[in-house]
Amino acid sequence: MKAWLPYPLWDMAGIELWLNRLAAEGYELEKWSGSFWGKVRFREDPKAGHARYRLDPIGKGTEELRERAANYRELGWRFVEQIGNLYAVYRCDDPSAPDLYTDPESLGYAMKRLIRRKWLSFPLLLLLAAIYLWSQSFPLFTTPGQIFSYFILNFDYAAPFYLFLLLYVGGAVAGVLYQTVSLTRIRRKLLRGEKPSPRRPTYPELRRTLANCAGLAVFLLLAVLALGTGGTTRALAGPEEWGFPHVLLSETLPTGTELVQTGDNWEFFNRSTFSHSRLAPEQYDTRQAGLARLPDGTSRQCVLELDYVRALTPFLADQVYSGKVTEEWSALTEYQEDSPGTFETLQLEEVPYPGLDRLTWISYQFLHGTFPRNICIGQLGEQVFVLNLQGPEPEGALELLAERVAAQV
């Protein structure tokens, strides 16, 4: 059979009492489970009725454990199982054999190495937890503006994930600290000659498992709710569904320009999507492209990409704006580092612009390009936009967009 451990791992007296009670009922310890479920395995044994179990704190390691097991065997005690790196479990079927420890002080000194090892392992656990959290959220420290922007735009997904991550790692660290502190308190009592009595059964392993299951269920529920009510993305049919300030590619070209938007090459660009989160309820992403035949007879491939975000507050919009600037600039500089000599010019400048709170202008030109490319990132109140232009003159497109953004205030 399998049974839940009713006592915490630091309660040696409680665990010994539990093992002896089950032995009196005819069950011997078979295996101490280290699985997620935390159950201990027993099997029926008619000879277990008069057996005694004792826990022995593990000292330096395997070599000392073998030496102690050999010494205890001569006293009538045989090694049965090991409880993690805390205790060795011994069983004695001879009622006349002496206990492993005859006084509390001896047991207290035996626990010294165990507690010292636990305290030394605690900084290592903190380091591992820090490394794990860093691996999951290192952009928070390297590019905080970008991660804050991501969190706002994807709040419905990010919030449950990071909350679950912090609770899980924090719970693991707190559990080890609580266990170590409790062992230290017990040892102090033993050294004073006080033998601790078993605590009342609280089934900590069962409660821990239920808490893990409940936490996982809550995380999955929040994820399902996020999929159903927030953070969803859907495709838009076209400009007729663009309920946000925007400019059309055709509006940015000289009068008399013929814009051809056919061909497989442009299918990826001529699209638009809408998504939202609770912190940024409006998020539009549009791509327009075509071959422009200008009035002077020349042709030019043109692309207009526009991202528009309306956050709940200007403060949140400011974080999105900073994240967008970092994101666009980082993408270009990384591309330039991977392919040296790609750009002839690459510059970033924050400039004042009428009708906008902030505007960052990024310009670059490919080595064999015929005209520069421009990225304009602007903010007005709770609105943020990223206008990416290839081909059209940027001044006219930006002026139209700034006017339409201001009209939404």
Tell me the per-residue pLDDT of 182-220, one tens digit each, with 9 for 90 and over. Answer: 888 888 887 887 777 787 888 887 877 787 787 777 777
Judgement on whether residues 127 and 142 belong to the same structural domain of the protein? yes
Q: Is the pLDDT of residue 138 over 60?
A: no
Q: Is residue 276 part of a domain?
A: yes
Q: Is the pLDDT of residue 296 over 60?
A: yes
Judgement on whether residues 338 and 249 belong to the same structural domain of the protein? yes
Chain position carrying tokens 């935390």: 38
Higher pLDDT, 98 or 358: 358
- State which H helix or E strand residue 312 sits in: none
Q: Once rounded to an integer, what is the mean pLDDT over residues 289-310? A: 88
DSSP state of 99: P
Q: Once rounded to an integer, what is the mean pLDDT over residues 228-251? A: 77
The rounded distance, in Å, linking the Cα atoms of 66 and 63 is 5
- Res 336: pLDDT: 80
Structural contact between residues 80 and 148, judged by C-beta atoms closer than 8 angstroms: no
SS3 301: strand
- State which H helix or E strand residue 166 sits in: helix 155-191
Q: Once rounded to an integer, what is the mean pLDDT over residues 334-355? A: 83
- Res 253: pLDDT: 87
- Res 103: pLDDT: 67
Last residue in a domain, options 228, 251, 285: 228
Q: 264, 118, 51: which is closest to 42 by C-alpha?
A: 51
CA angle (243 as vertex; 237, 245 as ends), nearest 5: 120
Judgement on whether residues 287 and 376 belong to the same structural domain of the protein? yes
Tell me the HSE value of 259 on the side-chain side, using a 13 A CA sphere.
Answer: 19
Between 59-63, 66-70, 137-141, the lowest mean confidence (pLDDT) is in: 137-141
Last residue in a domain, options 80, 102, 124: 102
- State which H helix or E strand residue 302 sits in: strand 299-310
Judgement on whether residues 401 and 378 belong to the same structural domain of the protein? yes
- Say how many C-beta atoms besides its own lie within 10 A of residue 84's C-beta: 9
- What is the domain range of residue 221? 113-228
Judgement on whether residues 175 and 266 belong to the same structural domain of the protein? no
Confidence label for 313 from pLDDT (cuts 50, 70 and 90): very high
The tokens of 61 are what? 């390691």
- Res 318: pLDDT: 95
- Res 36: pLDDT: 43
Q: Once rounded to an integer, what is the mean pLDDT over residues 12-23? A: 91
Mean pLDDT over the full length of the chain = 82
For 115, residues 6+ apart whose C-beta sits below 8 A from its C-beta are 180, 183, 184, 187
Judgement on whether residues 291 and 393 belong to the same structural domain of the protein? yes
- Res 375: pLDDT: 95
Q: Are strands 27-32 and 343-350 parallel, antiparallel or unpaired?
A: unpaired
Q: What is the 3-state secondary structure (H, E, C) of 179-216?
A: HHHHHHHHHHHHHCCCCCCCCCCCCHHHHHHHHHHHHH
Confidence label for 279 from pLDDT (cuts 50, 70 and 90): very high
Judgement on whether residues 249 and 396 belong to the same structural domain of the protein? yes
Last residue in a domain, options 228, 246, 273: 228
Contacts for 147-151 with beta carbons within 8 Å, 24 or more apart? Answer: 147/323, 148/319, 148/322, 148/323, 149/319, 149/320, 149/322, 149/323, 149/324, 149/326, 149/327, 150/323, 151/279
Q: Is residue 107 part of a domain?
A: no
Judgement on whether residues 262 and 387 belong to the same structural domain of the protein? yes
Q: Once rounded to an integer, what is the mean pLDDT over residues 343-368? A: 88
- Res 158: pLDDT: 76
- Res 169: pLDDT: 74
Higher pLDDT, 367 or 285: 285
Q: Is residue 108 part of a domain?
A: no
Judgement on whether residues 48 and 117 belong to the same structural domain of the protein? no
Total domains in the fold of the chain: 3
Higher pLDDT, 242 or 402: 402
Check the CA dihedral 216-217-219-223 and report its sign. positive
Between 105-119, 257-271, 319-333, the lowest mean confidence (pLDDT) is in: 257-271
SS3 37: coil
Confidence label for 262 from pLDDT (cuts 50, 70 and 90): low
Judgement on whether residues 81 and 58 belong to the same structural domain of the protein? yes
